[in-house]
Structure 1
Amino acid sequence: MTGINRREAMGLIAAATALGFGGAFAAPPSEGRALHMRRIPSSGEALPVVGLGTWQTFDVGPGEDERAPLAEVLSAFVALGGRVIDSSPMYGRSEEVTGELAEKLRLRDRLFVATKVWTRGKEAGIRQMEESMRKLRARPVDLMQVHNLLDVDTHLATLREWKQQGLVRYIGITHYTAGSHDEVAAILRKHAVDFVQINFSAAEREAEQRLLPLAQERGVAVIVNRPFAGGEVIRQMRNRPLPPWAAEIECSSWAQILLKYVTGHPAVTCAIPATSKLTHLRDNMQAGIGRLPDRKQRELIARSL
């Protein structure tokens, strides 16, 4: 999928409103201000640098009052140029909610849908992945990842077969703790995968030491979870004034500064902050446009924490 134009973005908003998900939607991107894109090394396909996570935020009940705000977030995400949405069977109802909203809002072909397998055993993994695709209403699914490396050899063997059969477009591995980076590095050296998803932020910089260079060396795309270190950094910086140099990288909030720290690294393909709030979504997406920090500016960001 390529980026959408202004008319298409407004059409998405109108469609969402017509489906009963009215509200204060984000405006479409300004002319000439498209999101930065990064290419998947294994294919050359380009993805926007800011995506959307669903952990906790999309785990809601069936009521319209619970799901309407998420419909607004998902519609605005696509209208502002977003594509990558990431989920997991361990995220409660998140896969189901994502799939239902994408179908109702007619957004499936606008999204790059990523999820995970998180169980032991080949047959259990197959059952879980089939169920995830059913919930997400995504067959094929764009990216299937082995979550936290659980039974990683078994599931990657299945996923290589599924990729050849066209059931998945890309395969990958994930983890969210720095303590597992040695194991992640070992798997990257052992297996050919398209993606690795890891924790990385201005407060959790360990990935810069080895995993990010290794991903570049191996030609693996990088999705970053925990770009705000689980929210701790945002809470820490919330009441602090922006530094004067924020204007140099076109940032008007700490969230944008912290996301640009992550996406400013050349090895990073996409960061996936999770949110259920439209205002936060709009703020996050602004981090995908404008000037990115250079190495010295990224050091300033890290030192400001």
Structure 2
Amino acid sequence: MHPSRRTFVAGAGLLPLATHLAQAAAPAEAEPAGLLRRAIPSSGERIPVIGIGTSRRYEVEPTPEKVAPLREAVQRFVALGGSVIDTAPSYGTAEDVLGLILPQDGLREKVFLCSKVGTPGREAGAAEIARSFKRMNTAMIDLVAVHNLVDPASNLATLRDLKAEKKIRYLGVTVWRDSQFADLEPLMRRETLDFVQVNYALDDRRAAERILPLAADRGMAVMVNVPFGRDRLLRAVQGRELPGWTADFGCASWPQFFLKYVLSHPAVTCPIPGMAKASYVEDNLGAARGRMPDAAQRARMEALVDAL
């Protein structure tokens, strides 16, 4: 692994702070449904700590046969207490697929729906957002974020107008690779954002150096994409037995291991792994229950992955 990905500033004081914040928040996180919830700092609204990401896995032909397993996954997700679903216009047919799934069984009212705008220019960006509303068959989108920092000045202005009109409830920005942090950090300092979405995983920890602490300081919720490192982590442990010591924080599978690491950072609000099967939903949501690893356990998790 690249040395920069091994850098974690816990030793300089972040983990004592993380432990303090996690302990302070823990008593209020458990909900009757059993899933942990965390607050969106700008509003205090609490959302379940694991969502569904639709990149790649929901980019299927929008036919009944292709959509059926995805519908089953979303139904199971909501039945177990999940709500956050993240998509984007650039994810092929994913918005169209959600437009077929969510109007049924009252799912739309139970889902915290997120999309993005990734087109430069005020008019073009507004037109892309309008298409998202139409494709997903909804009159309101909970969160729209500027995708990959594309023309943030124009697109954030549009999103603020939509928020004022109550067509969206939250706004934010997204990145997906470490090289974008140099542009993300100053934007986070100068703009008022409800959410940032960043890459953060057990083998990609650079966001914890500056971005996650800054989000906490600025009162921004953090959505985490690629918490499995685009499946790098799952491939790395294929065929390996889960260590027995992970039972100390209620871990029953490798996906839960990787998700609980991400969630144990106090600035993280909600990772969004791809979940295209009901069985994946059931497993991943197991990470949203019980206690999280403490500072010593996090260090042990890092050492395990760094040695792979």
Q: Same fold (TM over 0.5)?
A: yes
1:1-305 alignment to 2 at 5 Å? 34-305=34-305
Report the Cα offset of residue 275 of structure 1.
2.0
Please state whether the residue corresponding to 2:102 is helix, strand or coil. Answer: helix
CA distance in 2, matches of 1:58, 1:270: 19
Indicate the percent of aligned positions where both proteins have the same amino acid. Answer: 42
State the distance in 1 between where 2:183 and 2:265 align: 22
Amino acid at match of 1:105: D
CA distance in 2, matches of 1:98, 1:292: 31
1:32 shift after superposition: 5.7
The Cα of 1:33 is off from its aligned counterpart by 6.0
- With 134-143 and 105-114 compared, the bigger mean Cα shift is at 134-143
Q: Output the aligned Cα RMSD.
A: 1.2
The secondary structure found in structure 2 opposite 1:106 is helix
Shift in Å, 1:135 = 1.1
TM-score by length of 2: 0.87
Task: Report how many aligned residue pairs link the two structures.
Answer: 275
Which residue identity is paired with 1:141? I
Q: Is the 8 A contact 2:62 2:96 kept in 1?
A: no
Aligned counterparts of 1:234 and 1:162: Cα–Cα separation in 2? 39
Distance 1:99 1:232 in 2: 30
Structure 1 position 128, deviation (Å) = 0.3
- 3-state secondary structure, aligned to 1:281: helix
- 8 A contact 1:52–1:273 mirrored in 2: yes
Corresponding residue of 1:4: none
Larger mean CA deviation between 59-68 and 200-209 belongs to 59-68
Structure 1 range deviating more: 224-233 or 57-66: 57-66
- 4+ runs of 1 displaced by more than 6 Å? none
Q: Secondary structure at the match of 2:290?
A: coil
Distance in 2 (CA, whole Å) between partners of 1:238 and 1:224 is: 23
Q: Could you tell me how far 1:104 is from its partner in structure 2?
A: 2.1
Gaps of 5+ in 2: 1-30
- The letter of the residue matching 2:244 is P
Counterparts of 2:158 and 2:33 in 1: how far apart (Å)? 41
CA contact (8 A) 1:145 1:174 kept: yes
Distance in 2, matches of 1:112 and 1:88, equals 14
Amino acid at match of 2:83: R
The CA deviation at 1:139 is: 2.0
Deviations 1:192-221 (A, max 9, x none): 010000000101000100000000000000
What is the alpha-carbon distance in structure 1 between the residues aligned to residue 98 and residue 176 of structure 2? 22
Instruction: Quote the Cα distance in structure 2 between the aligned partners of 1:140 and 1:32.
Output: 27
Contact 1:238 1:254 in 2 (8 A): no
Cα 1:156/1:200, change in 2 over 3 Å = same
CA distance in 2, matches of 1:83, 1:265: 21
1:78 CA drift (Å)? 0.3
Deviation at 1:301, TM superposition (A): 1.2
- 3-state SS of 1:229 partner: coil
Mark the CA change 1:103 to 1:32 in structure 2 (over 3 Å): closer, same or farther: closer
